[in-house]
Amino acid sequence: MPNLNDIMEMMDALETKAIITIPTFCVAVRNRHSSCRKCADVCLADAFTIEKNELNIDAGACVACGACVAVCPTSALVPMDPMPDDLAGAVAETTNAADGLTVIACARKAARNVGDPDKYAVVPCLARMEEELLVELVARGVPEICLVDGDCRTCKYRGAVAAIDDTVESTRALIEAMGSDAQITRTSEFPASVQVEDMRKAVGAARREFFTSSGHYAKDVAKSAAEKVVNEKLAQLHLQKQEQTLREKLGVKNGAGKMPTIEAERNIAILDAMSRIGDPDEPAVDEMFTRIFGDIAIDAEKCSGCGMCVMFCPTDALRKAVDRHPDEGKAYLEFQVSDCVQCNLCADACLKKCIEIVPVVSMEELFDFEPRLVEISAAKKGNKLFNRNK
């Protein structure tokens, strides 16, 4: 059980940080050779420091746009304003009030008090939006999702425009692949049906929100379904008080050095939503360009069979195969497209640099629960990396 000091530290972290980290999920923490810097590349404020197996965010520099959350392949970054469950709840409530139309506005646009506050949800910046929520809305029958922002040219978040567009295009690719004609649009004006009729209502709602947000926030933290995130953070605080090696922090327990794997929860959620949008057996396209799922290509002639790719794959998308290759000089790996998050760690860890991550996936393979066999060179005698399952 966490003690009082732990709880106080946790509350302080939640109240002062827009984004909290789960370092053990970050591939750059798991392996210093990781090339992944997606969060740092999209950050408007250069708030990220990633070096020597550590991931840190300068809370003072962070502008809370949320763009880093959308691009992190392993969900190592968790937004606190709003929390995922809180945002989903707000979107559900306002969509019902708007007769099935989903409208999500940036805080700057909301502050102009021209929209009915009962009919749209608010985020600090539209860069906070993720494919998981948008695809789920389409799966639930929402025919149109309208993302409303102000004049980005003069906004402190203006550097996030490209990130917003990337998320919109990525979501469109996912739903269109399943044959959906749902519309996802960006606009600078609220739809006519969401515009406020009585200005006093919008202004009054804004004032109430200003005076009560801090109290509601504390209550939401206590009640939030993000219990797993809280527990992770408490665990981190506890670990910081102890002298631990990197292996101990990452949970490496066996002799081969294989770290605990991360379940690709976002991929699973998106795949489930896609299967409810259209028939997985009859998608609208044969293959899809995506930043969510990934495919892999291995040059078997260059491969030495060392097994480093399997050891460091964070989601177990790539693993040792049970099947034996008929050629003694060759071997198989198993690869699951739906579990690949395009973190590129397998390629970064590869000693022979013979692995390439491909952002185009087969729809048939994406919805296939059976992994694909990938041919590699057989490991030399004495190689213990592939003995981790014994």
Domain limits, the chain: 4-80+226-241, 84-212, 286-387
pLDDT of residue 157: 85
**By the 8 A CB rule, do 101 and 191 touch?**
yes
Determine the average pLDDT of the residues in 235-247. 51
pLDDT of residue 197: 74
Among candidates 124, 152, 136, 151, which has minimal Cα distance to 95? 136
Using CA atoms, how far apart are residues 179 and 113, in angstroms rounded to an integer? 37
Determine the average pLDDT of the residues in 318-327. 91
* Residue that the structure tokens 């992994």 belong to: 371
Answer yes or no: is pLDDT of 231 > 80: no
**By the 8 A CB rule, do 252 and 278 touch?**
no
What is the pLDDT confidence band of residue 211, given thresholds at 50, 70 and 90? very low
For the chain, report the end-to-end CA distance as a whole number of angstroms.
35
Residue type, 170: S
Q: List 333's β-bridge partners, or say none.
A: 320, 374
Answer yes or no: is pLDDT of 155 > 50: yes
Answer yes or no: is pLDDT of 241 > 50: no
Cα 109 to Cα 90, 150, 195: the distances in Å are 17, 5, 12
The answer to which of 97-111, 152-166, 266-280, 284-298 has the lowest mean pLDDT is: 152-166
Answer yes or no: is pLDDT of 246 > 90: no
Q: Report the percent of the chain where pLDDT is more than 70.
A: 78
* Residue that the structure tokens 């970064």 belong to: 348
Among candidates 155, 74, 168, 79, which has minimal Cα distance to 123? 79
pLDDT of residue 36: 96
Determine the average pLDDT of the residues in 71-97. 93
* HSE of 314, CA atoms in CB hemisphere, 13 A: 28
Q: Which residue has the higher pLDDT, 241 or 272?
A: 272
- CATH fold for the domain made of 84-212: Rossmann fold (3.40.50)
pLDDT of residue 244: 55
Q: Which residue has the higher pLDDT, 243 or 279?
A: 279
Mean pLDDT of the chain: 84
Using CA atoms, how far apart are residues 51 and 69, in angstroms rounded to an integer? 19
CATH class of residue range 286-387: alpha beta
Nearest 5°: the CA angle 311, 314, 316 is: 75
The string of pLDDT tens digits covering residues 184-204 is 999 999 999 999 876 555 554
Using CA atoms, how far apart are residues 112 and 8, in angstroms rounded to an integer? 36
pLDDT of residue 383: 60
What's the token pair of residue 24? Answer: 């053990």
Q: How many helices (H) and strands (E) does the chain have?
A: 15, 15
pLDDT of residue 217: 40
pLDDT of residue 208: 40
pLDDT of residue 201: 54
> pTM of the prediction?
0.82
Answer yes or no: is pLDDT of 209 > 60: no
DSSP alpha helix (H) spans, the chain: 4-16, 27-30, 38-42, 67-71, 84-97, 107-110, 131-139, 161-176, 199-223, 227-240, 246-250, 265-277, 308-312, 345-349, 363-366
Q: Which CATH number fits domain 4-80+226-241: 3.30.70.20, 3.40.50.970, 3.40.50.11540, 3.40.50.10380?
A: 3.30.70.20
Among candidates 32, 125, 23, which has minimal Cα distance to 74? 23
**By the 8 A CB rule, do 177 and 280 touch?**
no
Examine domains 84-212 and 286-387 and report if their fold is the same.
no
What is the pLDDT confidence band of residue 81, given thresholds at 50, 70 and 90? confident
**By the 8 A CB rule, do 363 and 285 touch?**
yes
Query: Would you tell me how many other CB atoms lie within 10 Å of the CB of residue 216?
Result: 11
Determine the average pLDDT of the residues in 328-348. 95
The answer to which of 51-55, 165-169, 215-219, 300-304 has the lowest mean pLDDT is: 215-219
Calculated CA dihedral for residues 332, 335, 341, 345, nearest 10 degrees: -10
pLDDT of residue 141: 96
Q: Report the percent of the chain where pLDDT is more than 90.
A: 66
Q: Which residue has the higher pLDDT, 362 or 259?
A: 362
Answer yes or no: is pLDDT of 277 > 90: yes
* Residue that the structure tokens 């370092």 belong to: 23
